[in-house]
Amino acid sequence: MFIAKLTLDTRDGIGEGPIWDSAANRFLWLDTAVGVIHEARVIDGDLTESRRWNLGRRVAAAIPRAAGGLIIACGTEIAMLGEAGEIAPFVRLGVDPTLVRLSSAKCDSQGRFGPEHSPLI
């Protein structure tokens, strides 16, 4: 029998997008509602939140980059987030942001990035 245990109590509004970054030995996830990316590491045998980036806008995905930092999907934009929190725009989708927004994204085994989008109506 397994017993569930609360490991991290971050009180996210909408916690999504969990990913294990094996290269950096960390766990990442999002609070999509408020635009926070969380990072946790194993410290003294326990998973402990070690960092958070507050983007101040909805975030749909955060994926580690081989070159460091993260690639993030926010609204109708894909950007790069540096470890220090700086954001560099990469591409903006040519869609009406009042009707469509990115809802998730992942990389395949070859490192190709693929976002999904959702209509808002």
Contact between 46 and 70 under an 8 Å Cβ cutoff? The reply is no
43 Cβ contact list (under 8 Å, min separation 6): 50
What pLDDT is recorded for position 120? 57
Q: In whole angstroms, what is the distance from residue 76 CA to residue 3 CA?
A: 40
Q: Report the pLDDT value the prediction gives residue 30, as an integer from 0 to 100.
A: 96
Quickly tell me which residue has 């045998």 as its tokens. Answer: 45
User: What are the structural domains of the chain?
Assistant: 15-119 (2.40.128)
> How many Å apart are CA 73 and CA 38, to the nearest integer?
15
pTM (2 decimals)? 0.86
9-37 pLDDT tens trace = 999 999 999 999 999 999 999 999 899 99
DSSP string, 22-52: TTTTEEEEEETTTTEEEEEEEETTEEEEEEE
Neighbours of 21 (CB within 10 A): 16
